[in-house]
Amino acid sequence: MPELPEVETVKEVLKEQILNQKILDVNVNYPNIIERPTVDEFIKKIKGQTITDIKRRGKWLLFELNDYYLLSHLRMEGKYYIKNSDDEITRHQHVIFKFKDFELRYNDTRKFGRMYLLDKKGVYDIKPLNELGYEPWDENLKSSYLKEKYKNKKLPIKTVLLDQSIMVGIGNIYADEILYLSKINPYKQSSCLNDEELNNIIKYTKMVLEKAIKLGGTTIKSYTSSEGVHGRFQNELLVHTKETCPHCHKKIVKVKINGRGTYYCDNCQK
């Protein structure tokens, strides 16, 4: 699943390809991708709009248009491809934006991705953006904030790190890496974390995600940011998918925590 570094990479790739392009038409081949408004309204409103910027909030892509924001969440396997208008449309290309000289096609094998077309005014104050927590680099993200958010959480920290309403952008892969570097056992109850552990979570979240962004994200299974663009952070993974701990050389433990495959060292992360 594309996480913050992958979405950031997609954003930057698309900015080089479609910025300042006018949307002449759009085909919606799988209506459930469009969450809001209706498909007919979506098509009517977006025609003639120009893409003036592309932003990111958490794992959401925000295509800034003249009058609207197009919000796109890639979910498990969403991808954007640039294609010629005469290229064959495959069965997984569900939304096709037509420009003068090319098309931008949203491809999603599992059809989990979602799009919203919202008025620009107040877009951050309504769903889905108003449900999101702080970005990892927000100056308000401090140990006191996490302590307050975690104090009533009886769940394992691995699960709570994935909660986008507290801090955005962390998915399964990066949660394992952050906890390993923080020397925190993924089963540890969130409400039991001390100040040092909370500060380490903030510190290593920034460090891991910054490095992953620099390397274009992590390519595991189906993720690519665009055709021919692959993340290189998988070469830097310390614990996720690994067999032995790079520090103590003991066997990495692989378990399921609330249904999510989790890797950790039970010697270094007691």
Q: Could you tell me the end-to-end alpha-carbon distance of the chain, in angstroms, rounded to an integer?
A: 28
Does 226 score more than 80 pLDDT? no
CA-wise closest residue to 220 among 173, 170, 270 = 173
Q: Do domains 4-131 and 143-264 have the same CATH topology?
A: no
Average pLDDT on 43-60 reads 97
pLDDT at residue number 140? 96
Q: How confident is the model at residue 225 (pLDDT cuts 50, 70, 90)?
A: very low
**pLDDT at residue 2 in the model:** 76
**Overall average pLDDT of the 83-98 stretch:** 94
Domain ranges of the chain: 4-131, 143-264
Whether 174 and 206 have beta carbons less than 8 Å apart is answered as no
Using the predicted structure, report yes or no on whether residue 235 has a pLDDT greater than 80. no
Residue indicated by tokens 């993340």:
231
The mean pLDDT value for 165-185 works out to 95
pLDDT of residue 77: 85
pLDDT given at position 266: 96
Q: What is the pLDDT of residues 33-46, one digit of tens each?
A: 999 999 999 999 99
Q: Which CATH architecture has domain 143-264?
A: Orthogonal Bundle (1.10)
Quick check: 172 pLDDT over 70?
A: yes
Average pLDDT over residues 232-248: 86
**Mean per-residue pLDDT, 49-71:** 97
* Per-residue confidence (pLDDT) for residue 3, from 0 to 100: 82
Residue 228 has a pLDDT of: 46
Lowest mean pLDDT among 13-22, 46-55, 134-143, 233-242: 233-242
Q: Which sequence positions are flagged as catalytic?
A: 2-3, 59, 260
Structure tokens at 158: 């691995």
Q: How far apart are CA 30 and CA 45, in angstroms?
A: 18
Amino acid at residue number 231: G
Closest by CA position to 114, among listed 55, 172, 28: 28
CA distance 169 to 191: 21
Count Cβ atoms within 10 A of the Cβ of residue 248 and give its class: 0-12 exposed, 13-18 middle, 19 or more buried. exposed
What digits encode the pLDDT tens for the residues 116-143?
A: 999 999 999 999 999 999 999 999 999 9
Contact (CB, 8 A) for 147 and 195: yes
Mean pLDDT of 8-23: 92
Q: What is the pLDDT of residue 215?
A: 81
Please check the confidence at residue 71 and state whether its pLDDT lies above 80.
Answer: yes
For residue 218, the model assigns a pLDDT of 59
The band of 104, judged by pLDDT with boundaries at 50, 70 and 90, is very high
Q: Output the 3-class SS for the chain.
A: CCCHHHHHHHHHHHHHHHCCCECCEEEECCHHHEEECCHHHHHHHHCCCECCEEEEECCEEEEECCCEEEEEECCCCEEEEEECCCCCCCCCEEEEEECCCCEEEEEECCCCCEEEEEECCCHHHCCCHHHCCECCCCCCCCHHHHHHHHCCCCCEHHHHHCCCCCECCCCHHHHHHHHHHHCCCCCCEHHHCCHHHHHHHHHHHHHHHHHHHHCCCCCCCCCCCECCECCCHHHHCCCCCCCECCCCCCECEEEEECCEEEEECCCCCC
Is residue 220's pLDDT more than 90? Answer: no
Band (13; pLDDT cuts 50, 70, 90): confident
83/42 Cα distance (integer angstroms): 22
Question: Mean pLDDT, to the nearest integer, of 11-23?
Answer: 93
Architecture of the structural domain at 4-131: Alpha-Beta Barrel (3.20)
Q: In this structure, how many other beta carbons lie within 10 angstroms of the beta carbon of residue 238?
A: 16
Q: What is the pLDDT of residue 221?
A: 41
What is the rounded CA–CA span in Å between residue 228 and residue 44? 32
Amino acid at 156: P
